[in-house]
Structure 1
Amino acid sequence: MNKNLLLAAILGGLLSLASGSALAKLDTAEVARLGQDLTPTGAQKAANADGSIPAWTGGITQPPTGYSAEKGYVDPFASEQPLYTITAANMAQYADRLTAGHKAMLQKYPDYKLQVYPSHRTAALPQGEYDLIRQEAGTVELAGGGNGLLNYQKTSVPFPIPKSGLEAMWNHLVRYRTGGFTDYPAEMVVQSNGSFTPVRRIRTLAMASAMGNPEPNRLYYFLQNITSPESVAGGQTLIHEPLDQTREQRLAWLYNPGQRRVLRAPEVAYDSPAVTSDGLRTNDSVDMYNGAPDRYDWKLVGKKEMLVPYNTYKLADRSLKYKQILQANHLNQDLVRYEPHRVWVVEATLKPGQRHIYAKRVFYIDEDSWGIVSSDIYDGRGELWRLQEAHGLQRYDILSAMQLSEVSYDLQARRYVAYGLSNEEKPGQFGVAFKLSDFSPASLRRSGH
């Protein structure tokens, strides 16, 4: 009996370790590296060996001359020219720095290209965020097999030195987004002939840690209201996202303008299709990844130098019209900037017995901002299905590197969906303080009438 108990304890410990929940917290020496050989967010401060990725020297913390919220972001690198352009003809030369999805796009579409520019490590946060990261770095732990956080308060990087795939993913999930914002993203499903209809909405997000009276076990509150076209206008989605998803599942509600009813919507999660995406993206691929991680096994592959979308100020130009950005098969690649950067590579493999239309996902997470910049998505047959990429930039007016927009290419259907573009929309408001009552189901009902 004693031998059996010992064996069970050992196996239980190994399973716990594999899930990521038994990893030790950072010790004093590890925390001390923040701001020394590591940046305050945990990235490697030094340049890479050949200098193609520079040292981090603080990022961009002031808007360039000429910036205004109404006119939009001024490109601090507007005078730069591409160092080189990658096409199907020369992609083999850069294969070790390309994602599987980008290789597939180069092979599939003769006019697809990646224009590679000098690398600039622009990411920067407010000093208060750096202080919080250091304060909580030695106390936050994964909870419940990695499906939540313990001892979490307000930090935007709970695991600056990640030791598991789930720790790296949680850094993405809680990264700094100014506490709360309202913006006006458009979504376009682009057909194989290049046609599209913009779906406009009002999006509001508030991190629970930035609110004065959040409910227990809350990570954030989310509300979106579709404003056009008329066929879908008035539809609303409300989400209360748990911090520990083993204690409580996501709470979601939908407002149906035709019925004038608010309904609980537990299906707004995992692989159910995102509203208005025409099936081209799942609910858990919004923001590149969101929600409970419990259906996958997560592996931290390590850090790698890759060519990824970065500093995409050209794509943010408010003088651009959507018809200049969106083309048949892919975005106008003259507007997308790629740079060499170090990224954390995390593999998510569907657990035995679990269901999801994506059997495997490979995420590439920027070491400086902790935002996912790209992901390769595989179907149940093990074939590459979709490529997702995020178009990030340093929002120097609010000191956040939250991405500008996202695109999901369906390599099998030859269609894609772009989400988050706001070139033709009014500017968003960031650093907004919200009340708990702003995100109640009752307020959802009132706003629909």
Structure 2
Amino acid sequence: MRQLKATGLKVLVVGGGGREHALVWKLKQSPRVAEVYCAPGNAGIARIAHCVDIKADDVTGILTFAWEKRIDLTVVGPEAPLSAGIVDVFNDHEMPIFGPTKKAAEIEGSKAFAKDLMRKYDIPTAAYGVFTEIEPAFQFIDKLAAARPVEAGCPCVVKADGLAAGKGVIVAADVAEAKEAVRSMLKGNAFGDAGRRVVIEEFLEGEEVSILAFTDGDHVLPMVSAQDHKRIFDGDQGPNTGGMGAYSPAPVYTEALAREVEKTVLLPTIQAMKAEGRPYRGVLYAGLMVTAQGPKVLEYNARFGDPETQPVLMRMQTDLVDVIEAILENRLEEQPIEWSSDATVCVVMAAGGYPGDYEKGKAISGLDDALPGVEVFHAGTAAKEDQIVTAGGRVLAVTAKGPTIGEAIDLAYRQVERIHFDGLQFRRDIGRRALERLQ
């Protein structure tokens, strides 16, 4: 693989959501970068980069474009092209690309693979079972119920094994709901091929935290902590989504806990993947539950999280290109990284009906009225004549930076109130846990 030039780089970002807008925004700040392209991009990205009408999972189309345009570095945002092997294809052509290979990306592509890996290498996680048939799955749920006091009920988690855009997880409150979730996946085809196999886990009690880490396959360089808000409604009510907001840092994630996670989760995971013949290079996302027994892994992602990327990258002061280059050259241990001490908060503005059916094409107003300290990252947007309109479930990711979590929250919501489109919805309690913990 050829080395990156010192300056004048042409960079291609693969994807078209809020995460990719944040990546483009950060890469544009590098003095080493001359041009940024994005495939397929969105209306917001088109304001600061060249958008290319190629779908993110069109590996051949992306490769052809990168080859013809002489792209110096490709950065992959979403999970689908990683699971499809885009990194392997680019590596075969000796074209620099940032992300894990197809075999390494299976840590996200198959929850069963990830759970088996954790069990084999003693990485802390919830007890689980993997099933393709309904009756054995029901028996396992009954077994989980029998192990808990009757008055505690039987909360458990049912997950589609494959990729389901962050929505293939059902947190069931009782046995009946858990069995219905299994039935809907294995028999009702609720998540298509992703749900042909299910993972059932014990319910973990505690507070969630998202940890993203750069890795070159041997070393890890953790990023600052973040906390996602998965449920659609305030108070963590309603169905799971791809993420309705996030903030950084998460007060629950102390320095002592960070050291423990690096020692018991991050490094062991990278070492396990190497031992399995699946060396992992790129960004490893560990979704953790901080329990009374210590941190336990809920899930892995094989890329930058969304919406965690938006608040995390707003705090990153080091040139992202320099970090990527260190990973590609297997010298991450030499690469320093600096972070702003400010807090950041991201509030997702979604289409009415999301995460279920929703309408597109709603005109968006107030986008050109950004307050100082705010970035409005586009997710599901498109240009229609002289307007920007909604084009997805999660439409915008309003991200604010302030000296404290409280000030960042206030600034983010002040910006949200300036933006409008028909049917919009957003959570009004992003960052609430941080404020409660700090108080």
**TM-score past 0.5 threshold:** no
More relative contact order, 1 or 2 (CA 8 Å, 6+ apart): 1
The structure that is helix-richer by fraction is: 2
TM (norm. structure 1) is 0.24
